[in-house]
A and B are shown apart, each in its own frame.
Chain A
Amino acid sequence: MRPAFRARWVPWLRRGAQTAFLLLFVWLLLRTRSRDPEPPEGFLRFFFDINPLIALMTWVATRALPRAIGLAVATVLVTALLGRIFCGWICPLGTLHDAVSRLGNLLRSRLPKPNPWSPWQRSKYYLLAGLLVIAALGGQWVGVFDPIALVYRSAVTVLLPAAQYAIEKSGTAVHEADPHVGPLHATAVTEPVYRFFRDRIFVRRSQAFLQNNSIAAFLAIILLLNLYRRRFWCRYVCPLGALLGLFAVRPLLRLVNNRELCTHCGRCSLNCQGAASPEEPGEWRPWECFVCWNCSAACNPGAIQFTLAGPLRAATAARLDLSKRAVLSAGVGGVAGFLFFRLSPQAQARTYNPDLIRPPGACEENEFLRRCMKCGLCMKACPTTALHPTGLEAGVEGLWTPRLVPKIGYCEYNCNLCGQVCPTEAIQPLPIEEKRTVKIGLATVDTTRCLPYAYERQCIVCEEHCPLPNKAIYAVEKEILTRDGRTLRLLQPHVDPALCIGCGICENVCPFEDRAAIRVTSANESRHEGNQPILGGHFTTGRQRRRRRGRASSRPPQEISNGPYN
């Protein structure tokens, strides 16, 4: 007799594991920040490191093995042995879907809807095939669909800011109204709570992100689809689920339906999270099964059990019947998608979007897009909330990748946190000394708005804040004749392109809040030889050259010439 598992407590064990991993996810997310001088821990990237989809796609797109592949391989091995327990027991997004599905069932007065397998569940494999073809051609769009990247992105740009906004506003409202009965003040309770969240949980000042609407809408739609079909995303869309499904075609841990005991009551199928057809003996689809154990726990006669079987034993399950034609079509779709991404002047480096300022240490644009998973960890870590999800500034392929928006936040001169938390080295982990030399853009004075040029007023706040030890912004005193005939000596700012690294603090502090009178554009960025307006200004970090594989420039980094400016 082989060991069989039909314990009714197993679903509760699973729920415990799901809760634990969800809490781990939240904790790691909140830890993604730093208070000097502690460096961020490597285990912040845990959920990315155990994710074989990100490892595979990065490998295929960049032809370079990711740095931490061991945990991803371990996930694959576990899947081959036990099936998609990652989906059923670990994945934080899966847990969210599970919670919404259960909530939907609770809200329904009727019995749960019948829950049969649908041939459309194959679509996730075709999506995976299409994304793989894009990656093989050197593009990348898996970040939009990868569940870990998706849940991080949603939490960073939507859920946490919403919670922070609610707590800050309500705490401040109570503080200002100060309701009290005699000596009993409401603030005696609310203020410690407010301070706990402010100092221990959020740490960063009120974060709010561009593009949060599109990310929130995406999350809302996929969560609401659970009301239509339980765990809709996991069954029909998730490419990580598909990849794990491919490794779970014949797992060691198998479901056995004992024909003699089965009464065909259908409770197993009704409770099945993945619609894996547990009800029909021999029809179970292990690549759709999340090993949630609901079927076995729900089976009153005890017909359904999980058992360990040798890989050579005869199949107790159906075959994964993907349509060759559909796989081929998905591949063609991938080629079309790749062409769609890259048939733009910008993707071919013939033009540069001035507003596409990438974080310091970001790879050359196409390599950056191959690596960036749009997870938003850099945005969470950034101390000034300078990094925001990109809309269409980087094309459709670059949707939700990070860009620096100086009017909202600026790049701290002594901070390299974005590169340290990036799970795929799309932003390289540069040592702080090297990071300070990386140019991400160039400041330009708009003399039609700048106060001492255009409005006869002293200002020079930009120069004051410039963090370069020798000041990339310098002031020249100019005598001007005012409207009423007085002479006035004003300090007018100028930018030295040899020194300016494009950190954007000048634009950030400029008194003009709508459109600053000194603005940073992507010109002069170290990562692009083609985006250099200044003679001799070409400058690349050693790391970027090493990583540029073949297409790297043969030009050695040059000493920056000061040109006619100094």
Chain B
Amino acid sequence: MIRPTRREFLKNTIIAGGSLASVPLWSQAQEAPAEPLDMCIARWQGAAASAPEEIKTLATKLTEQAISALGGMKRFVSKGDVVWIKPNLAWDRTPEQAANTNPDVVAALIRMCFDAGAKTVKVGDNPCNDAQKAYPASGIEAAAKASGAEVVYLDPNRLKETAINGKVLTAWPLSSEILDTDLVINVPVVKHHRIATVTLCMKNYMGVAGRETKRNQWHQDLSTCLCDITAFMKPRLCVLDAVRVMTANGPSGGNLADVKRMDTVAAGVDIVALDALGAELLGHKPESIGTIAAGFSAGLGQIDYRKLRHKELAVT
């Protein structure tokens, strides 16, 4: 039997106590008319935006409205929580090149976490390029700092061999700095990817394993590995950034001709459904994408997001 460590015991006790304490509140919330949504797709229907400031406003509005349609950040963040926002911050590329998550989507999420009472919001990823180059180039470092978040350069010396108990990944060294938080918000950008066809929420969890950990082996059975890591991470909130979408030469890209503006942000609790939406945005049938099909059959979520309680918002 695995004995919990003191830290885990305390954490579990607090969580258990907290959930007991919140039962009366929850039953009050029951009186609310409908159950909360599983997914919200916010599409920009306002004036065509082209100036950087306009795109910034658009990305912020889309993110804020998508999250509030889900019931607001308070649904996911409790007072005093430590939240990790996990963008796709893999490449030494600028926001315009759309190889990394839009910095304004990240910044909006950070502000909402603080408004919901988060004690600390941390932002970071294990990039494919050098972090010293990728973090500043992505624009996320500056945007996150300006919103009050802590930007963490993940430390290969703090990788921790972690039991995953998946089909292929039984254990893997993962960044303990990410795992030791109360909530991980998964915020990928919608991109083309040669071997996965598309890279979305499930693929974004590769960043929890460091570049040093031989995660490049996962490509040899990507669908199974991504299902294993997704099941381990137990996603609670994913936000899909489709403001700028890389349609070819992914995942690193670099050619502005491959970037298409879709001005869409989707948020939800069902990771497979969000990935299915992302596949559709890139013109693929979700069933044709190995990872998404495997995620559905592994019971990680619903492949047809239209069957979920979802809402399409027109944001202006």
Kindly state whether residue B128 has any CB partner on chain A within 8 Å.
Answer: yes
B258 to chain A, nearest CB (A): 8
Establish whether residues B216 and A461, one from each chain, have CB atoms under 8 Å apart when the complex forms.
yes
Establish whether residues B153 and A175, one from each chain, have CB atoms under 8 Å apart when the complex forms.
no
Kindly state whether residue B92 has any CB partner on chain A within 8 Å.
Answer: yes
B36 to chain A, nearest CB (A): 37
With a cutoff of 8 Å between Cβ atoms, the chain A residues found around residue B255 in the complex are 469-470
Q: Mark A501-512, 1 if CB is under 8 A from B, else 0.
A: 000000001110
Interface locus among B115-123, B245-253, B273-281? B245-253
Kindly state whether residue A465 has any CB partner on chain B within 8 Å.
Answer: yes
With a cutoff of 8 Å between Cβ atoms, the chain B residues found around residue A467 in the complex are 92, 129, 252, 254
A550 to chain B, nearest CB (A): 39
Give bound CA distance, A416 to B253, whole Å.
20
Kindly state whether residue B80 has any CB partner on chain A within 8 Å.
Answer: no
Establish whether residues B137 and A458, one from each chain, have CB atoms under 8 Å apart when the complex forms.
no
Establish whether residues A37 and B216, one from each chain, have CB atoms under 8 Å apart when the complex forms.
no
With a cutoff of 8 Å between Cβ atoms, the chain A residues found around residue B194 in the complex are 460, 463-464, 475, 491
Interface locus among A12-20, A391-399, A407-415, A540-548? A407-415
A322 to chain B, nearest CB (A): 51
* Beta-carbon nearest neighbor of A460 in chain B: B195
With a cutoff of 8 Å between Cβ atoms, the chain B residues found around residue A172 in the complex are 157-158
Give bound CA distance, A57 to B258, whole Å.
50
Interface locus among A1-9, A62-70, A197-205, A522-530? A197-205
CB within 8 Å of B: which A30-68 residues: 35-37
Interface centre among A168, A199, A451, A459 (most CB of B within 10 A): A459
Establish whether residues A464 and B132, one from each chain, have CB atoms under 8 Å apart when the complex forms.
no
* Beta-carbon nearest neighbor of A33 in chain B: B132
Kindly state whether residue B27 has any CB partner on chain A within 8 Å.
Answer: no
Contact of B254 among A383, A469, A475 (CB under 8 A): A469
- Residues of B within 8 A of A (CB-CB), count: 30
Kindly state whether residue B3 has any CB partner on chain A within 8 Å.
Answer: no
Q: Mark A488-516, 1 if CB is under 8 A from B, else 0.
A: 00010000000000000000011100000
Contact of A464 among B92, B156, B214, B251 (CB under 8 A): B251
With a cutoff of 8 Å between Cβ atoms, the chain A residues found around residue B249 in the complex are 469-471
Give bound CA distance, A412 to B222, whole Å.
26
With a cutoff of 8 Å between Cβ atoms, the chain B residues found around residue A475 in the complex are 194-195
Contact of A199 among B136, B153, B157, B193 (CB under 8 A): B153
* Beta-carbon nearest neighbor of B159 in chain A: A172
Kindly state whether residue B287 has any CB partner on chain A within 8 Å.
Answer: no
Give bound CA distance, A468 to B249, whole Å.
9
With a cutoff of 8 Å between Cβ atoms, the chain A residues found around residue B136 in the complex are 35-37
* Beta-carbon nearest neighbor of A513 in chain B: B214
Kindly state whether residue B219 has any CB partner on chain A within 8 Å.
Answer: yes
- Size class of the A contact interface (CB-based, 8 Å): 35 or more
Contact of B92 among A175, A205, A412 (CB under 8 A): A412
Contact of B133 among A203, A412, A451, A463 (CB under 8 A): A412
Kindly state whether residue A466 has any CB partner on chain B within 8 Å.
Answer: yes
With a cutoff of 8 Å between Cβ atoms, the chain B residues found around residue A509 in the complex are 128, 216
Establish whether residues B216 and A511, one from each chain, have CB atoms under 8 Å apart when the complex forms.
yes
With a cutoff of 8 Å between Cβ atoms, the chain A residues found around residue B30 in the complex are none
With a cutoff of 8 Å between Cβ atoms, the chain A residues found around residue B180 in the complex are none
With a cutoff of 8 Å between Cβ atoms, the chain A residues found around residue B251 in the complex are 464
Kindly state whether residue A171 has any CB partner on chain B within 8 Å.
Answer: yes
* Beta-carbon nearest neighbor of A169 in chain B: B157
CB within 8 Å of A: which B143-162 residues: 153, 155-158
Kindly state whether residue B22 has any CB partner on chain A within 8 Å.
Answer: no
With a cutoff of 8 Å between Cβ atoms, the chain A residues found around residue B133 in the complex are 36, 383, 412, 414-415
Contact of A458 among B129, B155, B195 (CB under 8 A): B195
Give bound CA distance, A445 to B134, whole Å.
27
Contact of A35 among B132, B254, B258 (CB under 8 A): B132
Kindly state whether residue B217 has any CB partner on chain A within 8 Å.
Answer: yes
Establish whether residues A384 and B130, one from each chain, have CB atoms under 8 Å apart when the complex forms.
yes
With a cutoff of 8 Å between Cβ atoms, the chain A residues found around residue B253 in the complex are 469
B239 to chain A, nearest CB (A): 23
Kindly state whether residue B220 has any CB partner on chain A within 8 Å.
Answer: yes
Contact of B220 among A36, A168, A384, A457 (CB under 8 A): A457
* Beta-carbon nearest neighbor of B196 in chain A: A464
* Beta-carbon nearest neighbor of B255 in chain A: A469
* Beta-carbon nearest neighbor of A203 in chain B: B132
B223 to chain A, nearest CB (A): 10
With a cutoff of 8 Å between Cβ atoms, the chain A residues found around residue B92 in the complex are 412-414, 467
With a cutoff of 8 Å between Cβ atoms, the chain B residues found around residue A413 in the complex are 92, 129, 254
Establish whether residues B214 and A412, one from each chain, have CB atoms under 8 Å apart when the complex forms.
no
With a cutoff of 8 Å between Cβ atoms, the chain A residues found around residue B156 in the complex are 205-206
With a cutoff of 8 Å between Cβ atoms, the chain A residues found around residue B132 in the complex are 35-36, 203-204, 383
* Beta-carbon nearest neighbor of B128 in chain A: A465
Quick one: given A458-B220, A458-B222, A463-B194, are A168 and B252 in contact (CB under 8 Å)?
no
B145 to chain A, nearest CB (A): 13
Quick one: given A168-B157, A205-B156, A383-B130, are A491 and B195 in contact (CB under 8 Å)?
yes
Q: Mark A398-429, 1 if CB is under 8 A from B, else 0.
A: 00000000000000111100000000000000
Q: Mark A419-460, 1 if CB is under 8 A from B, else 0.
A: 000000000000000000000000000000001000001111
Q: A413-B129, A465-B128, A511-B214 are in contact. List 14 more A-B contacts (CB 8 A).
A: A36-B136, A204-B132, A205-B156, A414-B92, A414-B137, A457-B220, A458-B222, A464-B194, A464-B195, A464-B252, A467-B254, A468-B254, A469-B255, A511-B216
- Minimum-distance CB pairs A-B, first 5: A469-B254, A469-B255, A36-B136, A383-B130, A461-B216
Residues of A with Cβ closer than 8 Å to B? Answer: 35-37, 168, 171-172, 175, 198-199, 203-206, 383-384, 412-415, 451, 457-461, 463-471, 475, 491, 509-511
13 contacts between A and B (CB under 8 A): A172-B157, A206-B156, A413-B129, A458-B219, A463-B194, A464-B195, A464-B219, A464-B252, A467-B92, A467-B254, A468-B254, A469-B255, A511-B220
